């Protein structure tokens, strides 16, 4: 199964979409090494178009075919909870932990976010610290701040 990779430009840097005919296997952040390929699978091209629309402010949700990846049930539940966070909203790590039925697992939610292979499409950038701070982000805090600003997110909603 051959992977295809497409670059997507944004104001904060170049993102990459990787996958095959079964779906997107990974979204690379601007700080990660990435090389585009000349042949592209349809799900990868579709995801790249949708990401470009998102960066242009013309898309608020994604309809992307995601490839199945090997992971734990807990991470799958966290990623489903992330996908349910609306555009422009934020949740705290504790709120996501409660949403997946394990209110003491805020740190594990952070680890699941870090392992998320599809940033933006599965919006781990919308999870922030309960005190209103940004928390962490694999792409760096400048990238997380850029994405939250692009969406007009108010950090105060995570402190409730």
Q: Report the catalytic residues.
A: 124
Output the DSSP codes for the chain. Answer: ---EEEEEEETTEEEEEEEETTEEEEEE-TTS-----SS--HHHHHHHHHHHHHHTT--SS----BPP----HHHHHHHHHHHTSPTT--EEHHHHHHHTT-TT-HHHHHHHHHH-SSTTTS-GGGEE-TTSS----TT-HHHHHHHHHHHT--GGGGG-
β-bridge partners, 17: 6, 27
Q: Name every residue whose Cβ is closer than 8 Å to that of residue 140 and which is 6 or more positions away in sequence.
A: 29, 31
């Amino acid at each position: 199964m051959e992977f295809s990779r497409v670059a997507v430009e944004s104001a904060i840097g170049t993102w990459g979409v990787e996958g095959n005919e079964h779906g997107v296997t990974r979204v690379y952040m601007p700080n990660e090494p990435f090389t585009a390929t000349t042949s592209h699978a349809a799900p990868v091209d579709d995801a790249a178009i949708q990401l470009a629309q998102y960066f242009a402010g013309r898309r608020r949700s994604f309809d992307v075919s995601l490839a199945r990846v090997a992971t734990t049930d807990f991470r799958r539940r966290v990623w489903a909870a992330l996908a349910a966070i609306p555009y422009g909203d934020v949740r705290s790590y504790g709120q996501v932990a409660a949403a997946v039925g394990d209110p003491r697992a805020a740190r594990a939610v952070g680890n699941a976010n870090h392992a998320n292979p599809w940033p933006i499409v599965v919006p781990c950038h919308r999870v922030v610290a309960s005190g209103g701070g940004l928390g962490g982000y694999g792409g760096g805090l400048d990238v997380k701040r850029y994405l939250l600003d692009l969406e007009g997110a108010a950090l105060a909603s995570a402190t409730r």
